[in-house]
Amino acid sequence: MSQIEEMADVCKLLGDKNRLTIVALLNEKELCVCEIVDILQTSQPNISQHMRKLKDGGLVKETKKGQWVYYSLRIQDKPYVAEILKQIPSQQDKINSLVCEENECCT
């Protein structure tokens, strides 16, 4: 796959509002699926589908902590994604408003 094809595929992934929001959230901090569900107010299966696509696209990685899976960005090899993220408004207020403070839903 050429670099242009890879970049086009990544841009397609980021063309979805929910996935772009997820990537922006993960740019702020590592999150559990339940936290992303809470922030985006959508179903866990819907978020899991988006996470699978982002993982398959090489944009996120997962880390298992106990029974919970946490996601973080994996964009070191995609500097153009970092540049896009610089233009996206901070999502820190959404993270700060999590109902499951201190990961209580994930413990």
What digits encode the pLDDT tens for the residues 38-85?
A: 999 999 999 999 999 999 999 999 999 888 889 999 999 999 999 999
Which domains, from first to last, does the chain contain?
Answer: 3-92+102-106 (1.10.10.10)
Contact 81, 75 (CB under 8 A): yes
Contact 27, 75 (CB under 8 A): no
pLDDT tens digit sequence for 72-103: 999 999 999 999 999 999 999 999 988 655 55
Cα angle 57, 36, 31; round to 5:
75
Contact 5, 71 (CB under 8 A): no
